[in-house]
Chain A
């Protein structure tokens, strides 16, 4: 037990401060920010992440948001297990045809008002996989998308800035 405490104290706090992005940065991130979102979510959002066909690269970086460097929960942003508890769907991947119905049902299960963020180049435009017999391509081909965070995969910092931009911190 002592060893654990020693390590905790020796490690200290590694969480880094993140400045909320400026408007031009948001544009760079490819986020079409809507001004009224602030009032809707009042500074805190619950996210349901949906892998709709990703290669898992995007998931690895979304995971990183919970590591002690980024610690995204300190901004009131947390990941929830059910779409019924979610304000925002974070969708990755080109939407595989085998996941199309599952994604539509997840979308329907999310209460209004809801926002959909397409994460990664695949989700944004189909990426390396495009549209095929097996892939619907971009998330917007299946459900309405409110914001896009580009990158293959987007870095945790890009994800963080995108999300902070969305809740207007």
Chain B
């Protein structure tokens, strides 16, 4: 079934159910992969119910103040086509029925919108704040336009002691609070375990500790400055977030990225994927005390990052993706160097992976542990390698291909056991696929521009960037105001969808296996907290 077919049919079904949506024309690039539909706020939840029946996936949710009004947005996907649903809420009584009752994936996102805008989601199953701790008052809403970016902070922000964690009852159960400062070199967050003996009965995540006000401080930025900020939403995904943000800005401005620049972006993104997967595989080995694997993979990662520094001038590739194109070119010599590197990495991977595969101490810890059932992964809209290790066959690069991925055919790595081993092997397959992609992109390089001339976007123009970052589907929404300035930026890191899956996959595992379960998911705290 082609794209327009299912969306047209879906609209008919909605109409039969008494739900009317009104398609709105938006910037040309925007509508290529997404349709924008407006709906009455009263029907917000009813839409979600029908969308669920038709197997649409809930992907992202955010709000925006536009003049005196509020827009609430939710992004849905099916077969690689996106519907951006929008509703206007009454600024005097900003509320609408919750979609979290239908889609659990919308739960924390709606709480974030409630904290940041003061928009109430009626019937929401969880009334606790999410992003707000104590840095601002309950009745202040940082993303409203009349809230100053500086806020009204106290001398010292007190800890959030009011948060109502779930309590355990019954003989022999006890609680373990962990964090926000953890034992390792890792981002801060709080985990509350309820356990009996060593068995985890329940895990509750409390995040928001690294909330830095990214959405607010994006306001008023120029395109270049926004790209820099986007590259720091989550330091390990600097290419992914910068690319999504630049894609959105380019749509709003109506400019096309030159083919050479798109290929170099593809090379950068795949290099980021390989670097992170090498690091994660090493870290998974470390968490089960298999030092050989950790040392080998951190060594391979270091080699890879050194080539990044040599070729692109930055080990983590920060600020390489810029609005309209890329900052640095790839010389023929560099292309050659990268290819040689790849040959070497393939050989070493074969050596090391063969050694790991036959190792029982790894097998004992990784197989069957941290099991995430396909239905739960689907229910939470889990994306990226976590989703693909539990049978979720979706990858933006293939299913909603963007340049340069539309020029190659790629196989999406899949596993279906849903355990830590599956997430380990999906990463391994993705490294191999990424290496092939890099080679293909280098072969496709033809002389050409690295950057398109920037056109100042009309005030009010908006863009939606969707890319497959190394963690999975990465979304950026933004709108321009006058003078080339950003009025709204919302980045949706894949971690926002994957964190809830961790709460489920640790159940019935033992507390000492939590670190390796967590590492197998490796959610971003910074990308979640914004």
- Chain A interface residues (CB < 8 Å from chain B): 3-4, 6-8, 10-11, 14, 49-64, 66-69, 79, 81-83, 93-94, 96-102, 104, 106, 127-136, 152-153, 155
Contact = CB atoms under 8 A, between A and B. Distances in A.
B142 A134 contact: yes
Interface string B121-160: 0000000000001111000001000011111110011111
A59 B212 contact: no
24 contacts: A3-B351, A7-B296, A7-B352, A49-B185, A51-B210, A55-B526, A60-B236, A63-B279, A64-B298, A66-B298, A67-B298, A67-B299, A67-B301, A67-B302, A98-B210, A99-B209, A99-B210, A101-B159, A129-B214, A132-B217, A133-B135, A134-B212, A136-B153, A155-B309
A55 B315 contact: no
Contacts of A136: 153
Contacts of B236: 56-57, 60
Nearest to A128: B232
B113 interface: no
A54 B156 contact: no
Interface in B139-198: 142, 147-153, 156-160, 180-181, 183-188
Contacts of B305: 64
Interface of B: 133-136, 142, 147-153, 156-160, 180-181, 183-188, 208-214, 216-217, 228-229, 232-236, 238, 279, 292, 295-296, 298-299, 301-302, 305, 309, 315-316, 318, 351-352, 354-355, 358-359, 524-526, 529
Given A96-B209, A129-B212, 12 more contacts: A7-B292, A56-B236, A57-B232, A58-B235, A63-B298, A97-B153, A101-B159, A129-B232, A132-B151, A133-B148, A133-B213, A135-B212
Contact of A11 (B210, B299, B525): B299
Contacts of A68: 295, 298-299, 302
B172 to A, nearest CB: 28
Nearest to B352: A7
Contact of B158 (A96, A101, A106, A128): A101
A8 B184 contact: no
Contacts of A67: 295, 298-299, 301-302
Residue from B134, B212, B232, B235 with most neighbouring chain A CB atoms (10 Å) = B212
Contacts of B153: 97, 133, 136
B379 to A, nearest CB: 28
A129 to B, nearest CB: 5
Contacts of B208: 98
Contacts of B156: 100-101, 104
Residue from A59, A131, A134 with most neighbouring chain B CB atoms (10 Å) = A134
A8 B296 CA distance: 9
Contacts of B232: 55, 57, 127-129
B235 A98 contact: no
A89 to B, nearest CB: 10
A155 B305 CA distance: 10
Contact of B187 (A56, A66, A104): A56
A88 B342 CA distance: 39
Contact of A57 (B217, B238, B309): B238
Given A100-B157, A129-B213, A56 B524 contact: yes
A44 B184 CA distance: 20
Contacts of B525: 56
Q: Which 10 A-B pairs have the closest CB atoms?
A: A133-B151, A57-B235, A134-B213, A97-B135, A81-B183, A67-B298, A55-B235, A3-B355, A97-B157, A56-B235
Nearest to B241: A55
A16 B153 CA distance: 47
A153 B359 CA distance: 36
Contacts of B151: 132-134
A26 to B, nearest CB: 22
B347 to A, nearest CB: 11
Contacts of A133: 135-136, 142, 147-153, 213, 216
